Amino acid sequence: MSGLAMSPLWEGFSRLPYRQRMGRIAELTGFDQASIEALSGHPVTADVGLAESCVENAIGYFAVPLGVAAYMLIDGCDVVVPMAVEETSIIAAASSAAKFFYPHGGVTTRTEGGLSIGQIQIPGPKDSRRVVEAIETNQGYLLASANELVSSLTARGGGARRIEGRILPGMVVVHVYVDTCDAMGANLINQLCEGLKPVVEDVTGEEAGVCILSNLTDTRMSYATARARQVDRRLADGIVNAYEFAAQDPYRAATHNKGILNAVDAILLATGNDWRAMEAGAHAYAALTGHYRPLSRWRLEGDDLIGEIRLPTAVGTVGGVTTIHPTARACLKMLGVQTASELGRICAAVGLVQNFAALRALSTSGIVKGHMNLHARNLAILAGANQEEQPVLVEKLREELQHEKRLTLTRAKALLSEIRNSEVREEVAIGTK
């Protein structure tokens, strides 16, 4: 196949100076100057009042680098994906893998369900089955009561959709399924459950206990699929083998899923979302069958390599930090998303692409070499190289990787010393001419 042509605005993007990269981003996204300034972090870090409104005992900010993943083709559209992350190689790996899938049509996504879950516990009921029957019989009344508690949400088209009882050993748990529209909805659901508690007690004749949302939102799922046609068989077999390893072994699956969440967490942090809730839900979903499994799946169909992922995605594009933080707002604008569903699908797509990058590295050159290649920049800084020396030292470190498996700070310092001694000798030679 001839493949799809990529935007020329990505050409040489990673090698451009900062200002030129920002110019390209403005062309790709239609950013205005205010949005570009928000990405720099300067207006935010200067505003201690914003920190005061987000956390207690605020004393400042801890800045995390913000980059963009390139070549992301999602549902036929070029998407500029902001990623806030401190780990070397994550953004580069995601971009490289996205470039691999681009000529094959990129990634396609879909959403299934849109309901979050609130829980009201009834510990030690006298008759569990009678409690469940009471919940079912009075569902209309309970739903009406629930929606009165979140009238602003129902006015926006959301609200409680159904209520059911689940029997567990020694307790009944009432599940309240809520459409939170485009909000993540944690606070809304917690308020709803606590407000509904006396109504449930009245209906069941039992005393309720814990009332809180669940971060396992398997009723709010995002799916992504990527297909690469006529893939080199050795590479494809390596990818599938690496997946099978994760499918059989929870020790490997934990690291497999961590790689997926490298990308997802970075997007959620950039957009002001609760990445910890996403992590908890993803890992719980991975273990839902009783055996911890990979969140993605890779298989061969003839000469085609197909990857699929399913993620619970309780994310939001309104409310909380997503609304009040100028950098989060700028990142959402960069993504071009309006709804929580769109954001969830992008998370799934980039998570799948990131997973491919990790499996490709594991099944070919190994994970260390690629990471070390990018880590060379960090080593150059740690070794004490100045701005003029850094590119020279990075190049020498990368040359070392051609015959060494890893780089060390000790070696970086030694190479820097050689560079400086060489410069001194050159200056002396020039002076004696």
Active-site residue set? 87, 258, 274, 371
Residue type, 211: C
Length of the chain, please?
Answer: 433
- Taking the C-alpha atoms of residue 49 and residue 47, their distance in angstroms, rounded to an integer, is 5
Q: Is the distance from CB of 271 to CB of 318 less than 8 angstroms?
A: no
The continuous run of DSSP H or E covering 21 comes out as: helix 18-29
Give me the residue label for tokens 């959709």.
161
**57 CB burial (10 A radius; 0-12, 13-18, 19+):** exposed
Q: Is the distance from CB of 38 to CB of 44 less than 8 angstroms?
A: yes
- Taking the C-alpha atoms of residue 166 and residue 30, their distance in angstroms, rounded to an integer, is 49
Structure tokens at 265: 């967490």
Q: Is the distance from CB of 325 to CB of 50 less than 8 angstroms?
A: yes
Give me the residue label for tokens 């880590």.
375
Q: Is the distance from CB of 107 to CB of 353 less than 8 angstroms?
A: yes
Q: What are the residue ranges of helices labelled H in 138-249?
A: 139-149, 151-155, 186-204, 233-248
Closest to 344 measured CA to CA, from 31, 64, 76, 114: 114
Distances (CA, A) of 168 to 22, 103, 122: 54, 50, 10
- Taking the C-alpha atoms of residue 275 and residue 359, their distance in angstroms, rounded to an integer, is 23
- Taking the C-alpha atoms of residue 433 and residue 430, their distance in angstroms, rounded to an integer, is 5
Residue 338, number of CB atoms within 10 A of its CB = 12
Cα torsion 213, 112, 283, 65 to 10°: value is -90
Residue 54, number of CB atoms within 10 A of its CB = 14
